[in-house]
Amino acid sequence: MMSWYRGGIFIGFSTCMPQGLLPDWLYFRVFVPPSPRMEGRAVYADCGLRIVEASLLEDGFSEEEVAVVHPRDLEKMVGNETKIVGIGGHDFLGINPPTSEFVDLAQTGPPYNRVKFLELTRKLKAIKRSREIKVVAGGKSAWQLAYLKTMDKLGIDYVHLGEGELSVPKMCKAIMRGKNVSRIVRGEDTPVEKIPNIRGAVIHGLVEIARGCGRGCKFCTPGMQKLRHKSIEHIIRDVEVNLKAGIDSPLLHSEDVLRYGTMKIEPNEEKVIELLQRVANLEGVKSMGISHVSFATAYHDPKLVEQVSEIIMSLPEQKWIGTQIGIETGSPRLIAKYMHGKVLPSPPEKWPEVVKQSIGLLNDNNWVPACTLISGLPGENKEDVIKTLDLLDDIKDSLSLIVPLAFVSMEGSALSTEKSFTREKMIPEHWMVLGKCMEHDAWVSRKLRENYMAGNIVTRWLFRRLTDRLIDSAKKYAEGMKKGRPPKDYNKIPKNYLIPDVMDGG
């Protein structure tokens, strides 16, 4: 999570890949080189870490007492006066989607995100032998660690769950004063006016504009959060912090940027346009990114899509507009059962038409969405998967990445008690979905990769050769999958990497 990903945020998904597909030294040099640091402090860091940093500073800690640090610099930055080391992460043990699916399918090794996290915990254990420090872990995947035996194995003293703007500073002060603190702390939802402005720059210039979603998909954790919107002035201040650090392409983040400023399903066009115009008019902004939008919002308000596109595409270095959108399934039955809010104000039976028309609208306006699918939702049957295959046929010519995911039971979702979906449960139609997605993505990846060719001539040559190798491999595997079968000799590969040894109770 402490990489610039060659300037392409979608490359960040490669950290979910298993080891073994490429030599480690080559992967980390070409795909995820470390973000720059100055005097041991990270110049750019994950948004969550930046908000925790700002919360500590707002609560009375000084800038000398708080540092956001790259793991490579950990040993030299932890001194005799250091009391607490905090770790943030999106998938500590590599069991969230899409990591779990990539590892389960490839079976070449454990995922990179888990490898690096365990490497970090070993460093911290070594440091703790000579210094009195406490280790606190938090972030979206902290639930993976919230078992006392797991924490003990990893050398983690405390786990913080949920939002931390209010509770993390209190927790840290109590730990430093030697008070009795529960080893697992759960934070509360933070009122929007209590969320501080960031003090340091965020990787890819990501700026949070809202929290929560309001559509209520049962498999989703952000969808269960209370919906809140930050003020435009707050957002502009965060963008300006990134601009001062040399990031001229802000990335606006919420679960649906097109619904900024409203608590209703229908978008507030004036608020959305005002926000984007304010950001686009800031001195130094050369391009802009949108993290997520909803197919339903685009479908029901095509005029807003056109207006937003016009503002963004007018920026001097804007080539196209990337975003992430959830398709999840082509089955109206599953939409009605688990995510009826996803298609509102249309009924569930219109979902395939909503996806098809929206993806065409977005492409027509220079958007390239990265779309997710979920295999193995509880109760999914053959007919449901066939409807997804039909939808894939309808959008096969679209300029979009389609990422198939396996359903993972995660704490914080309404389906947390259900069983996760693994390859043993796959039917031929699931393999056909994978094959169609891989073939489609191979075609699209070649079209998009030139945007990520950062670095010197040798690095760009290596990046092109390596992506060619990965794309060609994907196409090769896709041929058999499209016929409903796994790759040759697939079932002979030992299943060694799906569940990490340190897990206890999850």
Q: Is-contact 220 408, C-beta < 8 A?
A: no
Q: What residues contact 482, with CB distance under 8 A and at least 6 apart?
A: 432, 435, 436, 439
Token reading at 24: 């480690």
Q: Round to whole Å and give the CA distance between 258 and 294.
A: 8
- 483 C-beta neighbours (distance < 10 Å), count: 11
User: What's residue 472's pLDDT?
Assistant: 67
For the chain, residues with pLDDT lower than 70 are: 223-224, 449-475, 488-499, 504-506
> Looking at the chain, how many residues does it have?
506
- pLDDT tens per residue, range 258-298: 999 999 999 999 999 999 999 999 999 999 999 999 999 99
Whether 5-186 shares its CATH topology with 200-425 is answered: no
User: What's residue 88's pLDDT?
Assistant: 95
Reference 230, options 204, 211, 217, 244; nearest CA is 211
Q: Which CATH superfamily is domain 200-425 in?
A: tm_1862 like domain (3.80.30.20)
User: What's residue 209's pLDDT?
Assistant: 98
Which run of H or E residues covers position 56?
A: helix 47-58
In this structure, whether the domain defined by 5-186 belongs to CATH 3.40.50.280 is answered with yes
Reference 275, options 242, 241, 239; nearest CA is 239
Q: What is the DSSP letter of 162?
A: S
Q: Is-contact 49 69, C-beta < 8 A?
A: no
Reference 202, options 88, 45, 71; nearest CA is 45
User: What's residue 459's pLDDT?
Assistant: 54
User: What's residue 226's pLDDT?
Assistant: 85
User: What's residue 169's pLDDT?
Assistant: 97
Token reading at 53: 């940093």
Q: Which stretches does DSSP call E strand in 3-83?
A: 37-38, 41-42, 44-45
Q: How would you classify the pairing of strands 134-138 and 158-161? A: parallel
Which residue's entry shows tokens 């390859």? Answer: 423
Annotated domain spans of the chain = 5-186, 200-425
- 505 C-beta neighbours (distance < 10 Å), count: 8
CA 381 to chain centre: 28
User: What's residue 456's pLDDT?
Assistant: 57
Which run of H or E residues covers position 44?
A: strand 44-45
Q: What predicted TM-score, i.e. pTM, was given to this entire model? A: 0.91
